[in-house]
Structure 1
Amino acid sequence: MLQAFQKRRLTALLLLLSAWLYVQPLAAQNKMLTMEDAHLNRALVPANLKQLGWIPNSDDYAYLKADDKKDKLVRGTAGKKKEDDILKLDDFSDALQKAGAEKQNGFPLIQWRDKNNFVVTVKGKLYNFDVKKKAASLVTSIADEAENGELDPTKQKIAYTKANNLYISQKGAPDVAVTNETMLNIVSGQTYHRSEFGITKGTFWSPSGNSLAFSRVDESMVSDYPILEINNTPATVRNIKYPMAGGKSHHATIGVYNLNSKQTVFLKTGEPLDQYLTNLTWSPDEKSIYLAVVNREQNHMKLNQYDVASGNFVKTLFEEKNEKYVEPEEGLFFLPKDAGKFLWLSERDGFNHLYLYDTNGNVIRQVTKGNWMVTDVLGFDKGGRVIYRSTAESPLERHVYAANVNSGAVERISQGSGTHNATLSANGSYILDNYSSSIVPRTIRIIGTDSKVKNTLLVAPNPLKDYALGETKLFPIKAEDGTDLYCRMITPPNFDKNKKYPAVVYIYGGPHAQLITESWLGGSNLWMQLMAQKGYVVFTVDTRGSAGRGFAFESAIHRQLGTLEMQDVITGTNHLKSQPFVDANRVGIHGWSFGGFMTTSLMTRTPDVFKVGVAGGPVIDWNLYEVMYTERYMDTPQENPEGYKTNTLYQYIPNLKGRLLMIHGTIDDVVVWQHSMTYTKKAVDAGKQIDYFMYPGHPHNVLGKDRVHLMNKVTQYFDDFLMNAAPTVN
């Protein structure tokens, strides 16, 4: 089986290399994209199945299907062709109105409880809907100002926050105040550690829903940071807590509230208080909580067990250390048939892989191995095999596999080259496979964990078939050290090899991001396709430091954010400029956030490479960026003064030769406005002209209808100073 797997992998790689890679279906049509099309026209996104998901304790699935301009709820069974209409919108709305809700013009988010019941939340009220009876009933409600709501596993209780405190709402009882903090600097139940380490929330229900673990964060030692709110007259200041690199960080603890005893116990996680408490996992018997405790330096992790009843520390199961950093992002995956064993994801051998442990902390075996990454774990099948996604076929692809935790035997489940997003059924028998590739807009299938296709639910048509699109190619080039760097190049429709085209490089370049994938449009977006229609060559390179390639590739940037990434962008840009159809004197660059940092760096540290740059939400000075992210990749300013000095960008302002537009949202709480404002001030001091635009009232990303305004601004800048610049004569 393993030989067959390796042969299949080799065949896939050879096919990938032999194509390298024509990835855009040629459309012999002539429609042109508008900026509104590129950002607001949902009809140009490949068709999908709304709210598709598994129904618990069954082989059934459900989704919303359009019927005479109204959605209806449809139900099917894996392996069977027939689907049943089980609920019309009008019937749903009528039932909710009888239960006290307003008329519904669409289905809210549906969360299934069992085969016949689901719950929905409408304006803070939780309703149960019985599909057989077509009847709704009010379960409970939460306050209008409630935030961070999370249902318990029974779907009958809600944990939520109001201001800085945590509450629980349940049927037939008044809301419970889990915390009663009077100091606004102590916050409970909200996402913590700046949402790093895979943290997305601050509440963690036990498997039965009888207990709730939650974060309690003391931010009193963290400096206030002012956010200017201009919607008030006069303008007001909203202070946030923003721990900057090298400064004081918040202190987190974990509380556990027992709904039966109505008592809270705090885990005795000890000191230092500015350590990071990550990847919280309940044991199946609810007697223990496991935490991956990471030190402030982020180079030492301890997987600790705590007793839920007392909060006492039980033991450290194992430790991981790395001279650069350790970054656990997933909890424990307990084996369904043996609660004394679990799987752990670690990059300890250089790639993210699964390791089998017992609860005494003994490693039994490494389950997966190779120069590829396990990207996520979906669950276990009936035979106890772990189902996961990985990059084993190619760094550009994602496929679903099953691995025997005892023998390590691996079987690929997903079919077809490309990117597979999958959800495993509760009984572990089937996956919903939502798949795309450069030539497949979207196909949704049900595949058994035996690798056999059971149903094809959707084959989406090409939504861009009427549009004039150019050719998109994916290909590798070599970095200075010989490492493969993957690139994407989009050429204009009606391409003329004898012309000289201006080019735009779109860049991110930082950790946790991969821009180039074997997926629809090669991972590009419609703005890039629009730019190609306008006559630009659009180019992207995933530099060292980006995701999906293993620890050495991503951590190569450690202590020098920007330096290697710039080298790789220059390598890619040199390849771009070497193309006979590219005007080497009319090349621009654009990026946002880390990409804004890269754009600004390249425009001033290598000022002869790019003629025009547009930097959005840019990090300018790593001293001003948040503790968790910055200290992982740069250490502290005290430990790495040279790294901070080299990659702080004010000093390079005098080098600027081309046109630079900087853009920032005025209430950005991720990359604070101070970065670009200070940069602008220092440009004035240096007598250097830059262009500047701000988006009042927008945070780090400019979304919604204003996104059209933003991208028109970016595009116009390139049109004015790149497209309309004098072309190079052949």
Structure 2
Amino acid sequence: MKFPKIIVAFLFATTAVLNAQKKEVSLEDIWSGTFSQERLQSLQSLNNGDEYVVLNRDKDSGTTSIDVYSYKTGKQTRTLVDSKNLKGVDFFQGFKFSEDESKVLLSTEVEPIYRRSSREIFYVLDLKSKELKKVSDNKIQEAAFSPDATRLAYVFENNIYVLDLESGERNQVTSDGEINSIINGITDWVYEEEFSFVKAFAWNKTGEKLAFLKFDESAVPEFSMDLFGKDLYPTQQVFKYPKAGESNSEVSLHMYDLASGKSEKVELGDYNDFYIPRIKWTSNKDLLSVQVLNRHQNNLDLIFVNAKDNSAKVVLNETDKAYVDITDNLTFLDDNSFIWTSEKDGYNHIYHYSENGKLKQQVTKGDWEVTNYYGYDAKADRIYYQSTENGSVNRDVYSIKPNGKSKKRLTERTGTNSADFSADYTYFINSFTSVNTPNIYSLHKAKDGKMVREILNNNELLEKVKGYDFSPKEISTINVNGNDLNMWMIKPSDFDENNKYPLLMFQYSGPGSQSVSNSYFGTNDYWYQLLANKGYIIVCVDGRGTGFKGADFKKVTYKELGKYEVEDQISAAQKLGERNYIDSNRIGIWGWSYGGFMSSNAILKGNAVFSMAIAVAPVTSWRFYDSIYTERYMRTPQENPSGYDENSPLNHVEKLKGDYLLIHGGGDDNVHLQNSMRMVEELVQANKQFDWAIYPDRNHGIYGGNTRLHLYNMMTDFILEKL
């Protein structure tokens, strides 16, 4: 059918007007929070299972309150604590209940230390009598109620104290604590970062015993950072940081008896140079479980310590040709049998063991991964977990009997589903997202997954983004080096397959990570939309070494970090460059942290493929990084020198041909600025031109004030100019 020219002209004009009405996203939009999702407030189930509590803040008065809500209706039923009624506490920043919920611990004046640690001023509020007691005039760490709520244990200046809440008597459990030497009851830097915990003490069920870890870090080398601030002279932060192959803290287990007031060191066995990544009391008040991991992290013993005589017995041994992952999934049932997760059949699954460590049942099985263990409901005799059974980019929530039977899928929508269960497992709050759907929170019955009500959605955000010229994030796979790798792609909104577009690849690629998932836009995705609208195609490929596709796929990079992952990024770029709509002469790559290590290697080893790279806070040699993380995947530099050096960007700088931007935070306690400074020196000595920027005093996240906006302006300008 032919249209009159005037009608054709009208159609073109109308299309132009519609396109003109679409907004262009700006970096100011992104970093001012324009596209922030509504999130469900952090909630905590009460013991009754019918109600939960939320910490609310009144913006007008500046006061905070702990408010109680009904799971079933979502309506507030009462207020437990309101700071306007507390003498001397204007507001509090966090809270913890005692086990019986008779008392609550309120934290104020929180002073962050590292990623997970902080010092705080604590108060104890008796919810019945309304009596408020200040725990200490000093800022202390990791305060925790005894099970009967009569005592409180905490750490101050590396020593453990126990406060009797009735008499006010304060007992000092340890006295040898010393900064940068001896730590009692909290972890050292590397444990906090890599084993993901700070509180290193635990009450038994009756509150008669307190088990704790002691770290002797006197032989650990010190690392120092200059912090420039705004004063006339800079300050220096000095802390113990064991780099790969260097001395770790000597860790030991101790048992404190409250009745006698004495501590005793527990002899765990004939171990040398080892870690204690977890301690946890079993259902038996006299049995403490202790996980002991060798330095290579490929041999894990689960030990039961009898607190009556401090004798130790190995009940389970887990080995792996590469490494054993540490989790928080260990759960003790009433009969002291226990739930355990393991990759020993090639995929992460749930196992049920008797108290003596004999396997009762492999609960889950299949060519898919259990990605989250939610717990066990004794009343229903069911285990709740999350898995990739519906595809490695998806997540669903399931329940199953400990005997491996009667499995139920409790979520229906395809995408990323996660769950937060009520204390008695009557309900769970499901968070659902997909590439097309920002987070939706809904309440479901745990018995069958039936939805009770929708709690919160992000429909307003969906309406808002309709006003912008955005493209969908397309999830697919690409076959690279014999593997079908997960991939997402964002194209320009006016994409024309007859045109050729420059390609920017993003990746992280660290062991067990995942960057390609069926989930909605994150902050960087809006940046990718901005770049796409300027004529770029953005792609992310999860190569070998990433997670959720089995142990072999994840652990293939063992002892050679930066080899197979880089090969996959180079090969994926080559394969994408063969597509008729991608300009193979204009392919760039960027990444942060491990991703910066990757992007640096990619432009060096793949200099015929990549013409541009940005590396933010990169590791440039694993010799510079911490012992626990690095040796888990690489062993020590003394044992594996070629693995460290052959894949270090420092040793390939002469191969640089394209445009390279190097960025780091000057106060990065994690990936030290040393990495980038050494890279700069090697590039200078190789007479290679490059761009670089240091953000003074900024940590590994490089944020604060206008920092992120400035950073992304710089990276955007670099991409627009160089790619």
Give me the TM-score of the superposition, normalised by structure 2: 0.87
Matches within 5 A, 1:194-273: 194=191, 195-231=193-229, 233-273=232-272
Return the offset for 1:81.
3.5
Instruction: Report the RMSD for the aligned CA atoms in angstroms.
Output: 2.8
Partners of 1:462 and 1:562 in 2: CA distance: 42
Match of 1:181 in 2: 176
Say if 1:69 and 1:176 are closer, same or farther in 2 by CA, change over 3 A: same
The answer as to whether partners of 1:493 and 1:533 remain within 8 angstroms in 2 is: yes
Matched position secondary structure for 1:718: helix
Partners of 2:143 and 2:173 in 1: CA distance: 14
Matched position secondary structure for 2:335: strand
Match of 1:547 in 2: 547
The answer as to whether partners of 2:66 and 2:82 remain within 8 angstroms in 1 is: no
Matched position secondary structure for 2:521: helix
Matches within 5 A, 1:678-689: 678-689=678-689
Matched position secondary structure for 1:692: strand
Say if 1:112 and 1:641 are closer, same or farther in 2 by CA, change over 3 A: closer
Return the offset for 1:472.
1.0
Out of 437, 440, 451, which is 2:437 matched to? 440
Return the offset for 1:276.
1.1
Match of 2:70 in 1: 77
Match of 1:33 in 2: 25
Out of 337, 344, 348, which is 2:340 matched to? 344
Matches within 5 A, 1:550-629: 550-629=550-629
Return the offset for 1:638.
2.4
The answer as to whether partners of 2:49 and 2:426 remain within 8 angstroms in 1 is: no
Matched, 1:389 2:389: no
Task: Give % identity.
Answer: 31
Say if 1:60 and 1:39 are closer, same or farther in 2 by CA, change over 3 A: same
Match of 1:121 in 2: 107
Partners of 1:676 and 1:549 in 2: CA distance: 33
The answer as to whether partners of 2:395 and 2:417 remain within 8 angstroms in 1 is: yes
Matches within 5 A, 1:151-162: 158-162=152-156
Partners of 1:147 and 1:708 in 2: CA distance: 34
Partners of 1:333 and 1:457 in 2: CA distance: 30
Return the offset for 1:200.
4.9
Out of 296, 302, 314, which is 1:316 matched to? 314
Say if 1:623 and 1:448 are closer, same or farther in 2 by CA, change over 3 A: same
1:660-702 residue CA offsets vs partner (Å, 9 max, x unmatched): 1111122222222221111111211111122221111122221
The answer as to whether partners of 2:55 and 2:94 remain within 8 angstroms in 1 is: no
Q: Which amino acid aligns with 1:652?
A: H
Return the offset for 1:509.
0.6
Q: Which amino acid aligns with 1:349?
A: D
Partners of 1:116 and 1:69 in 2: CA distance: 30
Give me the TM-score of the superposition, normalised by structure 1: 0.87
Return the offset for 1:214.
2.5
Q: Which amino acid aligns with 1:614?
A: I
Structure with bigger RCO (C-alpha 8 Å, 6+ apart)? 1
Say if 1:566 and 1:607 are closer, same or farther in 2 by CA, change over 3 A: same
Match of 1:100 in 2: 88
Match of 1:484 in 2: 484
Matched, 1:61 2:46: no
Q: Which amino acid aligns with 1:412?
A: R
Q: Which amino acid aligns with 1:53?
A: Q
Return the offset for 1:210.
4.8
Return the offset for 1:47.
1.3
Partners of 1:523 and 1:235 in 2: CA distance: 34
Return the offset for 1:378.
1.1
Matched, 1:306 2:319: no
Say if 1:110 and 1:420 are closer, same or farther in 2 by CA, change over 3 A: farther
Partners of 1:39 and 1:174 in 2: CA distance: 50
Say if 1:284 and 1:182 are closer, same or farther in 2 by CA, change over 3 A: closer
Partners of 2:672 and 2:289 in 1: CA distance: 34
Q: Which amino acid aligns with 1:141?
A: V
Return the offset for 1:151.
5.1
Partners of 1:145 and 1:111 in 2: CA distance: 17
1:115-154 residue CA offsets vs partner (Å, 9 max, x unmatched): 7875532331325374xx9x95414323443234445556
The answer as to whether partners of 1:353 and 1:374 remain within 8 angstroms in 2 is: yes
Partners of 1:75 and 1:165 in 2: CA distance: 36
Return the offset for 1:155.
6.5
Match of 1:727 in 2: none
Out of 347, 359, 371, which is 2:355 matched to? 359
Q: Which amino acid aligns with 2:243?
A: M
1:84-137 residue CA offsets vs partner (Å, 9 max, x unmatched): 35349xx924212xx2222x4xx743545567875532331325374xx9x954
Matched, 1:166 2:160: yes
Matched position secondary structure for 2:123: strand
Partners of 1:149 and 1:716 in 2: CA distance: 48
1:704-723 residue CA offsets vs partner (Å, 9 max, x unmatched): 3322222222222112212x
5+ residue gaps, structure 1, are 1-25, 723-730
The answer as to whether partners of 2:157 and 2:177 remain within 8 angstroms in 1 is: no
The answer as to whether partners of 2:74 and 2:455 remain within 8 angstroms in 1 is: no
The answer as to whether partners of 1:198 and 1:279 remain within 8 angstroms in 2 is: no
Matched, 1:409 2:406: yes
Deviates more, 1:551-560 or 1:221-230: 221-230
Return the offset for 1:437.
1.6
Partners of 1:32 and 1:139 in 2: CA distance: 55
Partners of 2:239 and 2:670 in 1: CA distance: 11
Match of 2:94 in 1: 109
Out of 140, 143, 147, which is 2:141 matched to? 147
Partners of 1:238 and 1:299 in 2: CA distance: 34
Q: Which amino acid aligns with 1:555?
A: K
The answer as to whether partners of 1:159 and 1:169 remain within 8 angstroms in 2 is: yes
Match of 2:3 in 1: none
